[in-house]
Amino acid sequence: MTDEKYGQTKPLDILNVRGLASKREYVRSLELRGDAEALSLLVECLCDDSWYLRGLAEEAFLKLGDRGAEALLPLLDRGVWFTRASAALVLGRLGYRPAVPALFLLTEDKNTTAASAARDALVAIGIQRGAIRLAHALHRMPPDVRRGRMDEIAAGDRVLGERVERMMRSEELMSAENVDALSDDSAAVRATEEGVEWEVLTGPPSPSQSPGDAGGGHA
């Protein structure tokens, strides 16, 4: 990975306008448009030296959701370090599961801030119904690399780390071809969770129930 500025073109005149209000207004107009050109211009904002402008662009991408997430994926392996970190932060907060493979690669970035942002994003995605996507990606890594990445996930969230390990023991889940269509609440994924394990994730049964109740408590 290099730290060459991504998308170096002629500077946008608006970026040279002094005044926070002008920048807010500009980014807001791009967010409202939301078309391909607007997304490209928002990407340029994430590449700008102004931390304030980058922050505005991050918030705009969060509001755009999946519509803007795809435009952020190419930023994970190019550009200056703060652009890679911003892209990772947004994708993590969005819980954007297709970003998982690229985020795992970013954890090896030479810049510690970008690498840390990638690790945080992976944990955030895992917590937002994306543990299966983490497990699937980890399963395909060389064993020595996999162990290190799994330790990082567990350091970020112990319960998530344990759940990912359980999923990786499911041959059915690990052989799924269209893993992007799966989330943690998919029937195929829930079917691998057993009794007390699912209870850890969803909370204990209500006080009115016990394992022996006719209504069927948790086993």
Q: Which whole number is the average pLDDT over 99-120?
A: 97
DSSP for 99-128, written as a single string: GHHHHHHHTT-SSHHHHHHHHHHHHHHIII
- Which tens digit of pLDDT belongs to each residue from 139-179? 999 999 999 999 999 999 999 999 999 999 988 889 887 88
Token pair recorded at residue 30: 């791009």
User: Which of 3-7, 50-54, 109-113, 137-141 has the least mean pLDDT?
Assistant: 3-7
Indicate the burial class of 148 (C-beta count within 10 angstroms; 0-12, 13-18, 19 or more). exposed
How far does CA 133 lie from the centroid of its chain?
A: 10
- Residue 5 or 54, more confident: 54
Q: CA angle, 54 as apex, 84 and 126 as ends, to 5°?
A: 50
What pLDDT, on the 0 to 100 scale, is given for residue 202? Answer: 41
Residues near 199 by beta carbon (within 8 Å), at least 6 away in sequence: 205, 218
pTM of the predicted structure, to 2 decimals? 0.78
Q: For the chain, what percent of residues have pLDDT higher than 70? A: 80
Token pair recorded at residue 134: 């983490």
- Residue 187 or 85, more confident: 85
Give yes or no for a contact between 68 and 60, defined as CB atoms under 8 angstroms apart: yes
Q: Which whole number is the average pLDDT over 129-140?
A: 95
Residues near 124 by beta carbon (within 8 Å), at least 6 away in sequence: 92, 93, 95
DSSP secondary structure letter of residue 9: -
What pLDDT, on the 0 to 100 scale, is given for residue 218? Answer: 37
Q: For the chain, what percent of residues have pLDDT higher than 90? A: 65
Q: Is the dihedral of CA 62, 66, 70, 71 positive or negative?
A: negative
How far does CA 9 lie from the centroid of its chain?
A: 28
Cα 158 from Cα 91, distance rounded (Å)? 21
End-to-end Cα separation, the chain, in angstroms: 49
What pLDDT, on the 0 to 100 scale, is given for residue 39? Answer: 96
| Fold adopted by 17-199 | Leucine-rich Repeat Variant (1.25.10)
Question: Residue ranges of the domains in the chain?
Answer: 17-199
What pLDDT, on the 0 to 100 scale, is given for residue 8? Answer: 45
- Which tens digit of pLDDT belongs to each residue from 29-87? 999 999 999 999 999 999 999 999 999 999 999 999 999 999 999 999 988 999 999 99
